[in-house]
Amino acid sequence: MTSLSAKLLSWYKEEKRDLPWRRDGDPYKIWVSEIMLQQTRVDTVIPYFQKFLARFPSVSSLAEADEEEVLTYWQGLGYYSRVRNLHEGARQVAAQYGGIIPDNLQAIKKLSGIGDYTAGAILSIAHNAPCPAVDGNVLRVFSRLYCLTEDIMTAKAKKNITEIVKRVLPAGRSGDFNQAVMDLGATVCTPASPRCPSCPLAIDCQAYQKNRVIDFPVKRSARPPRPTQLAVGLLEHNGSILIRRRPAKGLLASMWEFPTVEHVEQDEMMVRENLRQVFVFLGLDVNVGSAQQKLTHTFSHLKWFMTVYDCTMKEARIEVPCPWRWVEKRMAHTITWAGPHAKIVQP
């Protein structure tokens, strides 16, 4: 065991976070938590994790579940491709491995949605396999430790840091080590305002010793999300609201939304007319009223500016074709909404 790993493990013994997925080494719980934690903070994940596990306590129960229900239990976490891959991976485990998650790297990486990091996390934490688990926290900690000047978002930088981690992984303690680096990055070696004097590796950290912590990690500037203007129609008739299902591929795939049209026009009357044409296409004679609500929602690459218009029927309701649907407003909480559309019907 290197001096660095010994210091880190000693710190982890005293400072480790009490997280629900760490308590029994269950690879399924670790898998679910790691998928949830992608691009999501720990304090946000915990209640979702507990609710998800209460409903899907095992790989088999998740594999047997209907996708619509799985999505409902994920709603609010976003990045829905994550849970679709998790669901498909559970089905693969049920079909190919009798409900037992594989404990070797080659097999587990063949499961849907599992890459190098997730595989390393599951195998090291559940089985103490000597696998690195290099996430954003690990990249940041090691780039500061060694003043690494490569952009940490590049494949080359990730590969180099992975090799460094392999060299310091303590035999028989890889799971604790990986979690220790994660915790250090999350609580001490943070992106902004790191608590360097409290760090067990301060004396080993080249960036700290050279007073250059703010220079690392090196990371290219991300493109700002593209602004997108959307007009949304809230059409309610006799206690039901009109919604449609998004395509099976792409952003918010297969989620439900209100009638929506993207626009670039600034003229309010033209925007309302464009939205009215969505209803005309369905054979509905609808009056698009004034704007009642404005919402903003940011994705990694898009920023939606949504204006919601109250709409009313001019005649009796008619049935609508798939992927459209009338749903009772009182049942809105059961719908798997496309991200910000859930806010439109919140009580």
**Domain co-membership, 179 together with 114:** yes
Check 14, 34, 257, 273 and give the catalytic one.
Answer: 34
pLDDT band at 19 (very low <50, low <70, confident <90, very high): very high
Task: Write the pLDDT tens digit of every residue in 210-226.
Answer: 999 999 999 887 789 99
Regarding whether 189 and 235 lie in a shared domain, the answer is: no
Cα distance between residue 338 and residue 135, in whole Å: 28
Domain identity same for 188 and 71 = yes
Number of helices and strands (H, E) in the chain? Answer: 13, 7
If asked whether residues 240 and 190 sit together in one domain, one would say: no
What's the whole-number average pLDDT of the chain? 94
Given a cut of 80, is residue 265 above it in pLDDT? no
pLDDT for residue 175 is more than 90: yes
**Residue listed under structure tokens 């080494």:** 25
SS3 233: strand
Q: Which of 176, 196, 215 is the last residue of a domain?
A: 215
Angle (deg, nearest 10), helices 116-127 and 27-37: 140
CA dist 347 and 334 (Å) reads 14
pLDDT digits 0-9 by tens, 70-82:
999 998 888 888 9
The answer to whether residue 243 sits within a structural domain is yes
Token pair for 70: 């799985």
Which among 186, 215, 244 is the end of a domain? Answer: 215
- pLDDT at position 1 is 66
> Residue 266 pLDDT > 80, yes or no?
no
- Dihedral of the alpha carbons of 262, 265, 269, 274, in degrees to the nearest 10: -30
For the domain that residue 293 is a member of, what is the CATH number? Answer: 3.90.79.10
Residue type, 227: P
Average pLDDT over residues 195-214: 97
Phi, psi of 143 (to 5 degrees): -65, -35
In a domain, 328, yes or no: yes
In this predicted structure, what is the pLDDT of residue 79?
A: 83
User: Does 139 reside within a domain?
Assistant: yes
Average pLDDT over residues 272-297: 93
Q: Are residues 30 and 167 in the same domain?
A: yes
Residues 27 and 92 grouped into a single domain: yes
Give a yes or no: residue 125 inside a domain: yes
Predicted confidence (pLDDT) at residue 317 exceeds the cutoff of 80: no
- Confidence band for 314, pLDDT divided at 50, 70 and 90: confident
Q: Which domain holds residue 134?
A: 3-215
Structural contact between residues 256 and 222, judged by C-beta atoms closer than 8 angstroms: no
Q: Last residue of a domain, which of 215, 250, 269?
A: 215
Are residue 230 and residue 114 in the same domain, yes or no?
A: no
Active site (annotated) includes residue 69: no
Q: Could you tell me the CATH number of the domain that includes residue 99?
A: 1.10.340.30
Q: What distance in Å separates the CA atoms of residue 347 and residue 333, rounded to the nearest whole number? A: 10
How far apart CA 339 and CA 337 sit, in angstroms, is 6
Contacts of 322 (CB under 8 A, 6+ apart): 245
321 inside domain: yes
Task: Report the pLDDT value the prediction gives residue 347, as an integer from 0 to 100.
Answer: 65
Tell me, yes or no, whether 180 and 71 share the same domain: yes
Asked if residue 29 is part of any domain, the answer here is yes
User: In this structure, are 319 and 192 located in the same domain?
Assistant: no
Contacts of 97 (CB under 8 A, 6+ apart): 107
> Averaged over 50-59, what is the pLDDT?
98
27 lies in the same domain as 133: yes
Q: Which helix (H) or strand (E) holds 188?
A: none
Count of domains forming the chain:
2
Cis peptide before 225 (omega within 30 of 0): no
Whether residue 221 lies inside any domain: the answer is no
97-111 tens-digit pLDDT: 999 999 999 999 999
144: in domain: yes
Whether residue 217 has a cis bond before it, omega within 30° of 0: yes
> pLDDT tens digits for 21-33?
999 999 999 999 9
**Res 117 pLDDT > 70:** yes
56 and 112 within one domain: yes
pTM: 0.83
Segment 262-270 shows an average pLDDT of 86
Same domain, 78 and 39: yes
Nearest 5 degrees, angle CA 166-CA 90-CA 334? 125
